[in-house]
A = this chain, B = another copy of it.
Protein backbone atom coordinates (compact mmCIF):
# COMPACT_ATOMS: atom_id res chain seq x y z
CA UNK A 1 0.00 0.00 0.00
CA UNK A 2 1.12 3.57 -0.67
CA UNK A 3 1.26 5.70 2.47
CA UNK A 4 1.80 9.46 2.43
CA UNK A 5 3.19 11.21 5.50
CA UNK A 6 2.81 14.76 6.83
CA UNK A 7 5.15 16.05 9.56
CA UNK A 8 3.85 19.26 11.14
CA UNK A 9 6.18 19.99 14.05
CA UNK A 10 9.84 20.81 14.46
CA UNK A 11 12.56 18.43 15.61
CA UNK A 12 13.30 17.88 19.32
CA UNK A 13 10.58 20.31 20.43
CA UNK A 14 7.79 17.84 19.66
CA UNK A 15 7.95 14.09 19.29
CA UNK A 16 6.11 14.18 15.96
CA UNK A 17 9.21 13.95 13.73
CA UNK A 18 10.45 10.96 15.77
CA UNK A 19 7.16 9.09 15.72
CA UNK A 20 6.85 9.70 11.98
CA UNK A 21 10.36 8.34 11.46
CA UNK A 22 9.69 5.11 13.37
CA UNK A 23 6.36 4.72 11.61
CA UNK A 24 7.90 5.12 8.16
CA UNK A 25 10.69 2.65 8.96
CA UNK A 26 8.12 0.09 10.06
CA UNK A 27 5.91 0.70 7.05
CA UNK A 28 8.85 0.17 4.69
CA UNK A 29 9.94 -2.94 6.59
CA UNK A 30 6.46 -4.36 6.09
CA UNK A 31 6.72 -3.84 2.35
CA UNK A 32 4.58 -0.73 2.02
CA UNK A 33 5.61 2.22 -0.13
CA UNK A 34 6.24 5.66 1.33
CA UNK A 35 6.71 7.76 -1.79
CA UNK A 36 6.78 11.14 -0.06
CA UNK A 37 6.99 12.85 3.31
CA UNK A 38 5.67 16.40 3.36
CA UNK A 39 7.04 18.79 5.99
CA UNK A 40 4.64 21.59 6.89
CA UNK A 41 4.23 24.18 9.66
CA UNK A 42 7.24 23.91 12.02
CA UNK A 43 7.94 20.54 10.42
CA UNK A 44 10.06 22.41 7.88
CA UNK A 45 12.64 22.89 10.65
CA UNK A 46 13.49 19.18 10.43
CA UNK A 47 15.29 19.92 7.17
CA UNK A 48 18.05 22.17 8.52
CA UNK A 49 21.54 20.79 8.09
CA UNK A 50 22.86 23.17 10.79
CA UNK A 51 21.45 21.20 13.71
CA UNK A 52 24.04 19.97 16.23
CA UNK A 53 22.24 17.89 18.87
CA UNK A 54 24.18 16.56 21.89
CA UNK A 55 26.31 13.46 21.16
CA UNK A 56 24.03 11.18 23.16
CA UNK A 57 20.89 12.29 21.29
CA UNK A 58 19.47 11.07 18.00
CA UNK A 59 20.18 13.27 14.98
CA UNK A 60 16.71 13.74 13.53
CA UNK A 61 17.70 15.40 10.26
CA UNK A 62 20.42 12.84 9.50
CA UNK A 63 18.06 9.99 10.28
CA UNK A 64 15.57 11.29 7.73
CA UNK A 65 18.23 11.98 5.11
CA UNK A 66 19.60 8.44 5.50
CA UNK A 67 16.19 6.77 5.40
CA UNK A 68 15.16 8.75 2.34
CA UNK A 69 18.41 7.95 0.55
CA UNK A 70 18.05 4.25 1.24
CA UNK A 71 14.44 3.98 0.15
CA UNK A 72 14.04 6.75 -2.38
CA UNK A 73 11.60 8.79 -0.33
CA UNK A 74 10.81 12.27 -1.61
CA UNK A 75 11.26 14.63 1.37
CA UNK A 76 9.37 17.80 0.48
CA UNK A 77 9.63 20.98 2.53
CA UNK A 78 6.76 23.44 2.00
CA UNK A 79 8.14 26.60 0.49
CA UNK A 80 5.65 29.00 2.07
CA UNK A 81 6.15 27.57 5.54
CA UNK A 82 9.93 27.41 5.03
CA UNK A 83 10.24 31.04 3.92
CA UNK A 84 8.53 32.34 7.06
CA UNK A 85 10.75 30.21 9.26
CA UNK A 86 14.09 30.79 7.59
CA UNK A 87 14.68 27.50 5.76
CA UNK A 88 16.19 28.04 2.31
CA UNK A 89 17.97 26.01 -0.32
CA UNK A 90 20.62 27.53 -2.55
CA UNK A 91 18.19 28.62 -5.28
CA UNK A 92 15.82 30.23 -2.82
CA UNK A 93 18.66 31.96 -1.00
CA UNK A 94 19.87 33.49 -4.27
CA UNK A 95 16.36 34.46 -5.33
CA UNK A 96 15.73 36.15 -1.96
CA UNK A 97 19.14 37.80 -1.77
CA UNK A 98 20.14 35.85 1.33
CA UNK A 99 23.82 35.10 2.01
CA UNK A 100 23.37 31.56 3.29
CA UNK A 101 21.19 28.49 2.93
CA UNK A 102 20.54 25.68 5.36
CA UNK A 103 18.59 22.82 3.77
CA UNK A 104 20.12 19.37 4.23
CA UNK A 105 20.79 16.79 1.56
CA UNK A 106 17.78 14.67 0.69
CA UNK A 107 15.24 17.42 1.29
CA UNK A 108 13.80 19.60 -1.46
CA UNK A 109 11.72 22.74 -1.27
CA UNK A 110 8.47 22.79 -3.20
CA UNK A 111 4.90 23.99 -3.08
CA UNK A 112 1.77 22.92 -1.24
CA UNK A 113 0.56 21.27 -4.41
CA UNK A 114 2.89 18.40 -3.53
CA UNK A 115 0.85 17.78 -0.39
CA UNK A 116 -2.43 17.62 -2.30
CA UNK A 117 -0.85 15.45 -4.97
CA UNK A 118 0.37 13.09 -2.26
CA UNK A 119 -3.15 12.90 -0.87
CA UNK A 120 -4.48 12.01 -4.32
CA UNK A 121 -1.80 9.48 -5.23
CA UNK A 122 -1.48 7.52 -1.98
CA UNK A 123 -3.87 5.04 -0.38
CA UNK A 124 -3.46 6.43 3.13
CA UNK A 125 -2.30 9.74 4.53
CA UNK A 126 -0.98 9.97 8.09
CA UNK A 127 -0.27 13.27 9.84
CA UNK A 128 2.20 13.63 12.70
CA UNK A 129 1.94 16.93 14.49
CA UNK A 130 0.90 18.74 17.60
**A residues neighboring B (CB under 8 Å):** 10-13, 41-42, 45, 48-54, 57, 61, 83-88, 93, 96, 98, 100-102
A86–B102 CB distance below 8 A: yes
Copy count, this protein chain: 2
Given the complex of chains A and B, what is the CA–CA distance between A72 and B118 in angstroms?
A: 48
Given the complex of chains A and B, what is the CA–CA distance between A48 and B57 in angstroms?
A: 23
* A52 proximity list for chain B (CB < 8 A): 83-84, 86, 88, 96, 98
The 6 closest A-B pairs by CB, nearest first: A48-B86, A50-B86, A51-B86, A100-B100, A52-B83, A12-B84
* A83 proximity list for chain B (CB < 8 A): 51-54
How far apart are A64's CB and chain B's nearest CB, in angstroms?
13
Interface residue from B11, B49, B61, B100 paired with A50 (Cβ < 8 Å) = B100
* A61 proximity list for chain B (CB < 8 A): 86
Which residue of B is nearest A98, CB measured? B50
Given the complex of chains A and B, what is the CA–CA distance between A69 and B29 in angstroms?
A: 54
* A101 proximity list for chain B (CB < 8 A): 50, 100
B50–A84 CB distance below 8 A: no
A-B contact pairs, 26 of them (CB 8 A): A10-B42, A10-B45, A10-B85, A13-B41, A13-B42, A42-B42, A45-B45, A45-B85, A45-B86, A48-B86, A49-B98, A50-B87, A50-B98, A50-B100, A50-B101, A50-B102, A51-B83, A51-B85, A52-B88, A52-B98, A53-B84, A54-B84, A57-B84, A61-B86, A100-B101, A102-B102
